[in-house]
């Protein structure tokens, strides 16, 4: 049975997430009152209550809503192609990561550094864990998606270790590198489901 194209819902949510997230970061960078974020991290863009900070934090909340929606729709789409194994776990994992994003936006680093760090490293561990163990959780996804996840976990983890041990690179560079891989992984994962729905 061929499923109508407009039913490929999770891939639409992933595309919206990437669009909102990228727009928020770009606006935050362009409108930031200084360039200190270049030496620090993305969280700097959400500090001190400027217009750029409000836009950046708002986009993070909207991106989190997109991620929650994506998780819910991934579950529905996986049931739609009769591949439900791990669907609930993947949905719950995405929702947990989304709550971390909201926490990052609400508890900014300049006001609540320990709480901000908790959510920041929490979402990093959650996302890396899901990428690394996805193949054990579900067989609904392609080798491409798994390879993107493995490369992201190994290389971003290595860069994070280099940052903490030597400070020879900035946290911003680690964040941007990991973000590109995360976006690619979200798009690949939902594209796998869309491709299978076309032939179901």
Which residues of the chain register pLDDT less than 50?
A: 1-6
pTM of the predicted structure, to 2 decimals: 0.90
Tell me how far apart the alpha carbons of residues 30 and 27 are, in angstroms, rounded to a whole number.
5
Q: For the segment 109-132, what is each residue's pLDDT rounded down to a tens digit? A: 989 999 999 999 999 999 999 999
Give the per-residue pLDDT at 43: 87
Q: For the segment 174-183, what is each residue's pLDDT rounded down to a tens digit? A: 999 999 999 9
Tell me how far apart the alpha carbons of residues 190 and 196 are, in angstroms, rounded to a whole number.
10
Tell me how far apart the alpha carbons of residues 142 and 133 are, in angstroms, rounded to a whole number.
14
């Amino acid at each position: 049975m061929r499923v109508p194209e407009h039913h490929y819902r999770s891939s639409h949510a992933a595309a919206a997430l990437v669009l909102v997230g990228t727009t928020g970061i770009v606006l935050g960078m362009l409108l930031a009152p200084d360039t200190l974020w270049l030496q620090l991290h993305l969280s700097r863009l959400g500090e001190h209550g400027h217009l750029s900070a409000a836009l950046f934090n708002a986009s993070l909340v909207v991106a989190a809503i997109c991620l929650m929606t994506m998780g819910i729709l991934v579950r529905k789409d996986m049931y739609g192609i009769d591949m439900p194994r791990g669907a609930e776990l993947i949905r719950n994992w995405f929702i947990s990561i989304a709550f971390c994003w909201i926490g990052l936006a609400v508890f900014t680093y300049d006001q609540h550094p320990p709480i901000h760090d908790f959510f920041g490293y929490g979402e990093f561990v959650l996302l890396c864990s899901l990428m690394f163990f996805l193949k054990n959780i579900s067989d609904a996804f392609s080798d491409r998606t798994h390879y993107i996840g493995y490369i992201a976990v190994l290389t971003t983890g290595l860069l994070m270790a280099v940052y903490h041990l030597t400070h020879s690179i900035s946290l911003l560079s680690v964040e941007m590198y990991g973000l590109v891989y995360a976006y690619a992984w979200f798009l690949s994962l939902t594209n796998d489901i869309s491709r299978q729905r076309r032939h179901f």
